[in-house]
Structure 1
């Protein structure tokens, strides 16, 4: 019996040592934390308006072969990772965008890594940054339909590369995988003042020995606003001719607050007249005045206004530039004024056409 006691003691201490080791190993593993980041900057660019900047819009557009101009639109977004602890080990990361409205075909939308810097308030189609597709960097792709709601892209490899310093963090470009198929998608941007979780966000899971700071309190969502802005278009004078200076006045109004107003004439964007901070809250009325002369034919004015909740109001108006209705006057002058048969004289004649509306051909 006495011989069994030492054996039991050995087994007891062996089990105790094993349990102790397991406890040490379990405490060595870093906890898993989750963080949601919101954009440092976001905007979109369109090929039909190569010099236009949309940095203050409440929406982000992605599209291709858009019927109005057969152009392409792409979205740019950047998140700052500075608040992640230095010892963080990225486990996964997802970009999430909330679709407000979709048109055209269901299609694959890719997220490309941006390869050069850009400025939210000055970036345009003409000066857009380079992106990964040019350098054959594999994108991340998600199927997007016309159904409103959340869509996500796995961007773990991009975020790991940024955080480790393998390459600079210039953000992401969202674009159609096939930009020869018609689709239009409108996502909410960081300027959307409704429920903030509809803004773009980067959701990251990471391991770290450093617990994250307490998140700031969630802001109260603004009252639901489903009323779009009203838009009116006026022009003067009537009876427009080719040399007439036409004044176009576009006015947008909203019950809560306007975010932006865009006007195009014959497909070209009209620059706003005078300063107007579209990020300022509480603007309920704004007008754009444009003056120009126009050639003969029909001219189309399009206007689009966004409010702070992403609602859009639009208007279209057209006018015609007509002529005086008089016929051109022709004069023929020949030198010499008379010639005789077989006298080998050279006859030079000048034909002149005059018309107050201009001469198309002679």
Structure 2
């Protein structure tokens, strides 16, 4: 298991009472409501350096609680996916981006000042990682009494209390398959290689080498069921030359058809099949 720790790329809170003021440089992130005011926090983490093929097993957003009002009251803070881009040094209550109606995670705060509060946002980070949802970060929203978290700008203490996204993931593992058919004699009739099931492979290629004295014609054939075939690509290979055929579409099966290019002029070829899966 591998671990990625990512500090916030952007974070800022907004205040309804000060609807046109930007708090991007504040050392605090405020969330909650009073009789006359309403605070929300917007935060974003960059996960673009996570390799695409990794399997995410857990993602926790951790914010350090500086203080909370009304300690006897449980304060529920929801994390909502943001739907529009925003900038830390420009966001205000008046221009804040839209966010989803329902939270992806919630945390309950009472009197845990001096500790980290965590939200499990595994499902959301998976969507960001796969591209199913654009990563515009999260809005932290609560209608309960206000709480105050440390922002990325809070570096005045000896403790590291800035917002942190912790992602546990399994690095991609790859399997490699290879097969070869050698010294195949071409004729005037079409012949074909072995049929390969490519459904479990991410990458596939056929390498054809013409070892004889005459030209050969090869076709990469693809099939959804192993019986109906379509031509994916076609190449003529001169004596002493080689060619690589890579499927342009995804199908369950593939093979190489081959024949002498010119009547009565046979040749000898080798065909290698290679694939990589995860």
Q: TM-score range by the shorter chain?
A: 0.5 to 0.7
1:162 to 114, 124, 128: 128
Using the TM superposition, give the Cα deviation of residue 94 of structure 1 relative to its aligned residue in structure 2, in angstroms: 0.5
The answer on 1:103 being equivalent to 2:65 is no
User: Which of 82, 106, 116 pairs up with 2:84?
Assistant: 116
3-state SS of the aligned residue for 2:128?
A: helix
Secondary structure of the residue that 1:99 maps to in structure 2? strand
Asked whether the equivalents of residues 83 and 99 of structure 2 are also in contact (C-alpha less than 8 Å), the reply is yes
After TM superposition, give the deviation of residue 150 of structure 1 in Å: 1.0
Unaligned 5+ runs, structure 2: 174-278
The answer on whether the counterparts of 2:52 and 2:130 sit within 8 Å (CA) in structure 1 is no
User: 1:131 aligned to 2:96?
Assistant: no
Change (3 A) 1:101 1:138: closer
Q: Does the 8 Å contact 1:146/1:185 carry over to 2?
A: no
User: Match for residue 190 of structure 1?
Assistant: 152
* Corresponding residue of 2:11: 42
Q: Partners of 2:48 and 2:169 in 1: how far apart?
A: 14
- Secondary structure of residue in 1 paired with 2:126: helix
Alignment length (residue pairs): 169
The equivalences for 1:310-329 within 5 A come to none
The separation in 1 between residues aligned to 2:52 and 2:103, in whole angstroms, is 27
How many Å apart are 1:195 and its aligned residue? 3.9
Deviation at 1:84, TM superposition (A): 1.0
Point out where structure 1 has 5 or more consecutive residues left out of the alignment. 1-31, 211-362
How far is the alpha carbon of 1:86 from its aligned partner?
2.3
**Secondary structure of the equivalent of 2:124?**
helix
Distance 1:75 1:160, change over 3 A: same
How far off is 1:138 after superposition? Answer: 4.2
Aligned to 1:171: 137
- Higher share in strand: 2
Q: Output aligned runs, 1:266-285, within 5 Å.
A: none
Instruction: Spell out, residue by residue over 1:222-246, the C-alpha distance to the aligned partner (whole angstroms, 9 max, x if none).
Output: xxxxxxxxxxxxxxxxxxxxxxxxx
TM value normalised by structure 2: 0.59
SS in 2 for 1:98: strand
- CA deviations on 1:14-58 (whole Å, 9 max, x unpaired) are xxxxxxxxxxxxxxxxxx101111010100001001101000001
| Contact 1:132–1:139, Cα closer than 8 Å, also in 2 | no
Which residue of 2 is the match for residue 145 of structure 1? 110
Q: Check the 8 A contact 2:54/2:171 in 1, yes or no.
A: yes
Q: Are residues 196 and 37 of structure 1, via their aligned partners in 2, closer, same or farther at CA, if it must alter by over 3 Å?
A: farther
Contact (CA 8 Å) 2:55, 2:172: kept in 1 or not?
no
Aligned match of 2:21 in 52, 58, 61? 52
What are the within-5 Å matches in structure 2 for residues 211-222 of structure 1?
none
The structure that is helix-richer by fraction is 1
Q: Which has the higher contact order (CA 8 A, sep 6+)?
A: 2
Larger Rg: 1
Q: Give the RMSD, CA atoms, in angstroms.
A: 1.4
